[in-house]
Structure 1
Amino acid sequence: MSTLETEFLFEIDAELREPNLMIGAVPEGSRMIAHVEGGTFKGPRIKGTMPASGGDWVLARADGSIKIDVRAALTTDDGHNIYTYYGGRIVMTPEQMGALGDRAAAEALDPSTYYFRTNPLFEAAMDGPYAWLNHVVAVGIGRLTAKGVAYKVYALK
């Protein structure tokens, strides 16, 4: 079996609307929706903005973890739109979870002390310059910020 290799794609900073839309207790846990208000992304082969076009259908699970379910758009600096969607997990201590209602406190948490991982996939126009993203499976390492979240995204080779 070969080793897992990655290639850095980009770092993304996503701004999320406050407050989140709280759904409340559902059979699988507690549901809320975090709307994407904007953001930026930049990497060696691609850069641009994240329009206010998506969100994260967050599920706080009974086991204490958070299930991520994101759908959003990216607009490259040369005017191409890309759809991205991904799942993921956030695992924190109960004390760290308590900081999630205060963005400054959440940003102050050391990202090395919690688990925040995603698995982005992409859809780009097949005849466009970013069609290569249609064949990429990526992983993201996330952190909380004062405006929302940030990820470093890597393509699996």
Structure 2
Amino acid sequence: MSLPAPALEHVCDLAVTIDTPVEVGTTAMGLRRMIPITGGTVTGPLMRGRIVAGGADFQLIVGDGTQAHLDARYVLELNDGTRVFVQNKALRVASAEDSAKIRRGEPVDPTRVYFRCQPIFEASTPQWSWLAEHQFIGVGLRLPDAVHLSFYKVC
């Protein structure tokens, strides 16, 4: 017996500004990088605000450079003043050539890159408690100086 497929509800779009990557180097696990998050905006039907500077995206690049396992942690400040902690784990997969371009900060056709994420939210105010009571998924786009994300609540 198959159950009905879940529906998705658009929550928001993020335009995340980033700084120059900090290259840790190749470890036994793969290539490690840290991408500083410098700010950005949150727009959408259910959330609006800004991204607080000071977060970072910690990356592990494996598969001969074609897979990037991302773990970004940052804070949103919503228009009502509520601050929301976000941990966003993602997988980005592209060809070796496109992956090298991304690492060099060059543009890549987004249709050639698989970029999906699973954000988890923590908020301290009752009106945002629903963020901890649902699952979310997202899609991403890496630009040379920014990351764009769209988040969806799984209903």
Query: How does the TM-score come out when normalised to structure 2?
Result: 0.92
CA contact (8 A) 2:120 2:135 kept: yes
Hey, what's the Cα distance between the residues in 2 that align with 1:28 and 1:102?
A: 21
Q: 2:126 aligns with which of 124, 128, 140?
A: 128
Q: Which amino acid aligns with 1:144?
A: R
Q: List aligned pairs for 1:88-99, cutoff 5 A.
A: 88-99=90-101
- Give structure 1 regions of 4+ aligned residues with deviation exceeding 3 angstroms: none
CA contact (8 A) 1:51 1:74 kept: yes
CA contact (8 A) 1:122 1:136 kept: no
Name 1:29's counterpart in structure 2: 30
Q: Which amino acid aligns with 1:111?
A: P
Name 1:54's counterpart in structure 2: 55
Name 2:40's counterpart in structure 1: 39
Hey, what's the Cα distance between the residues in 1 that align with 2:122 and 2:51?
A: 15
- CA displacement at 1:25 relative to structure 2: 0.8
Q: Which amino acid aligns with 1:156?
A: V
Q: Which amino acid aligns with 1:79?
A: G
- CA displacement at 1:134 relative to structure 2: 1.2
RMSD: 1.3
Unpaired segments of 5 or more residues in structure 1?
A: none
Name 2:113's counterpart in structure 1: 114
After TM superposition, the structure 1 stretch with the greater mean CA deviation from structure 2, 142-151 or 6-15, is 142-151
Q: 2:139 aligns with which of 141, 144, 148?
A: 141
CA contact (8 A) 2:92 2:113 kept: yes
* Count of aligned residue pairs for this structure pair: 152
After TM superposition, the structure 1 stretch with the greater mean CA deviation from structure 2, 43-52 or 62-71, is 62-71
Hey, what's the Cα distance between the residues in 2 that align with 1:5 and 1:68?
A: 25
- Once the two structures are superposed, what CA deviation does each residue of 1:112-134 show, in whole Å capped at 9, x if it has no partner? 22100000010001x43212111
Hey, what's the Cα distance between the residues in 1 that align with 2:131 and 2:91?
A: 23
Hey, what's the Cα distance between the residues in 2 that align with 1:146 and 1:77?
A: 28
CA contact (8 A) 2:102 2:144 kept: no
